[in-house]
Amino acid sequence: PPDADDVDLLLVAALHVGAATERTARPATRIRGDRLADRAVDVIEVDAERGTLRCWIDRSGLLRRLELRTRLGTYAQLDLAPGPVPALPPVSPSPARPRAPR
């Protein structure tokens, strides 16, 4: 959306990573090797729908960082750390609605 700020755009990009289909996929370019959280990573860049997106991927294939080029020319950054996912509380059933008389 035009009124979204750069953080909104970064979060939208993060949620859409890996969602490209064969029709919408764009080529990626390896920018460099680097280190992040004491791990070797490859930094790749793709021309995403909402701007240039950099993905930092470790050697096991895990996504460790996303960077989105902002409108000011800097990068908004989202670091990702693998770990256990907390259990979600169960969804309580919605209350039954009274039926209308026939």
Domain boundary assignment for the chain: 6-79
Nearest to 68 by CA among 1, 4, 12: 12
Backbone angles phi, psi at 40, to 5 degrees: -75, 135
Cα 9 to Cα 5, 29, 75, distances in angstroms: 6, 21, 11
Nearest to 41 by CA among 21, 22, 11, 61: 61
pLDDT in tens, 45-76: 987 766 788 989 999 999 899 998 888 888 88
Report the predicted TM-score, pTM, of the whole model to 2 decimal places: 0.64
**Which helix (H) or strand (E) element contains residue 27?**
none
pLDDT in tens, 1-59: 566 677 776 777 766 666 655 565 668 899 999 999 899 999 999 877 667 889 899 99
